Amino acid sequence: MTRYLPTPSPNPPMDAVPFWDWCRKRELRFQQCAACGRHRHPPAPVCRFCGSDQVKWDAAPEEAELFSYTIVHNAVTKELKSYVPYNIAVVGFPSLRVRLISNIIDLSPEKIRIGMPLRLTWQECDDGTPLPLFFGEMS
């Protein structure tokens, strides 16, 4: 499989370190408040619903769908020039009420549709960290 985009810069925010630790195990997990049970993403130190700082890391469900996306045609850096056009996808997990910014791979831009089912896959960065990416499921 060819790489979808170049390796992103390292050093995620501290609250996101456990997220990436799970990714290294190829497990997509989201923060869940241990007090009220609501999920959140991106990771944050405190629940915005109840204020608790107690968290669990809950496995993402199999079902995801495309909430929104954009197609990038103008590379903002020289490293991205060979990748345009590429998509930036907002992947929704309706049962958890969270969304993840990612990419849809192996699908031409004209076939991408809001609401389409998505299937998780992993693609390793140069440093070996697996990134959660998605296949678009054609209906």
Q: How far is the CB of 89 from Zn ion (least distance, A)?
A: 27
Asked if 50 touches Zn ion (CB under 5 A), the answer is yes
**Structure letter (DSSP) for residue 78:** G
| Residue 98 within binding range of Zn ion, rule CB under 5 A | no
3-state helix, strand, coil in the chain (%, to 5): 15, 35, 50
Give the three-state DSSP class for 80.
helix
Q: What is the DSSP letter of 10?
A: S
Q: x-or-dash pattern for Zn ion, window 52-91, by CB under 5 A?
A: x---------------------------------------
End-to-end Cα, the chain, rounded Å: 23
CB of 5 to Zn ion, least distance (A): 34
Query: Which residue in the set 5, 28, 47, 60 belongs to the binding site for Zn ion (CB under 5 A)?
Result: 47
Q: What is the SS3 assignment for 127?
A: coil
Closest to Zn ion by CB, 43 vs 132, is 43
Which run of H or of E encompasses 9?
A: none
Q: 46 or 125, CB closer to Zn ion?
A: 46
**Which range of residues in 29-37, 53-61, 76-84, 127-135 is near Zn ion by CB under 5 A?**
29-37
CB 2 within 8 A of CB 106: no
Q: Under the rule (CB under 5 A), what is the footprint of Zn ion?
A: 33, 35-36, 47, 49-50, 52
